[in-house]
Amino acid sequence: MVLPVIRYGSPLLRRKSIGFNGPEEIKTLSGDMSETLKRYEGIGLAAPQVSLLKNIFIIDTNPLADKGVVSVEKVIVNPEIVDYGSDNSYYTEGCLSIPEIFEDILRPEKIEVRYRDENFDLHKEILDGILARIFQHEYDHLNGVLFIDRLYPLKRKLIQSRLKGIF
């Protein structure tokens, strides 16, 4: 089932999510979130974006296949970023909850992560490139942080009128 994606201005996007204690509801929720992500042609979707304050997000790089990105579809439950690499880079990010706004965001290029999948199996990985970028963006959502919060104050002020038009 396709879920409604909430937009910038909703207080839910600023709240911290809570973790899962076991695999209850994960498969149904992750299926609905994957369907929603495909419908909106995004590459990542966190539960707070569909009005659920749970520690889960979906990554799907299939929309980037024409740019040479390897196809990856993951369900990420109760994620943690264990370590951040020392090299940072800018990349243009957007968000389904902040439509039509795209900005260059500075993030670490490599991260070490720990998370559970839809079966609640534990995974430890080192991610880099676009996967590290998507993971960090969606992880921020679980903590009530939006990509625009990572902009320099002057740049954020410059887009303020466009942000007001969203909600």
pTM reported for the whole predicted model: 0.95
CA-closest candidate to residue 88, choices 68, 104, 71, 66: 104
Instruction: Give the amino acid at 33.
Output: M
Domain 11-164, CATH number (from 3.40.50.2000, 3.90.45.10, 3.30.750.24, 3.40.640.10): 3.90.45.10
How many C-beta atoms lie closer than 10 Å to residue 139's C-beta? 21
Over residues 69-97, mean pLDDT = 96
User: Given pLDDT bands bounded at 50, 70 and 90, which one contains residue 68?
Assistant: confident
Over residues 81-94, mean pLDDT = 97
**The pLDDT value given to residue 10:** 95
Contacts of 13 (CB under 8 A, 6+ apart): 6, 48, 49, 97, 141, 144, 146
Token pair, residue 83, equals 């370590």
Q: What does the alpha-carbon distance between residue 20 and residue 57 come to, in Å, rounded to a whole number?
A: 12
User: Given pLDDT bands bounded at 50, 70 and 90, which one contains residue 69?
Assistant: confident
Q: What does the alpha-carbon distance between residue 144 and residue 17 come to, in Å, rounded to a whole number?
A: 8
Token pair, residue 66, equals 């024409």
What are the residue numbers of the active site?
138
Over residues 22-43, mean pLDDT = 92
**The pLDDT value given to residue 164:** 85
At residue 33, does pLDDT exceed 80?
yes
pLDDT in tens, 89-142: 999 999 999 999 999 999 999 999 999 999 999 999 999 999 999 999 999 999
- The phi-psi region of residue 9 (left if phi > 0; otherwise alpha if psi is between -120 and 50; otherwise beta) is left
Over residues 3-17, mean pLDDT = 96
* Strand positions, DSSP E, the chain: 44-46, 56-60, 73-84, 88-95, 98-108, 110-116, 122-128
CA-closest candidate to residue 46, choices 125, 166, 134: 134
Residue ranges covered by each domain of the chain: 11-164
**The pLDDT value given to residue 167:** 67
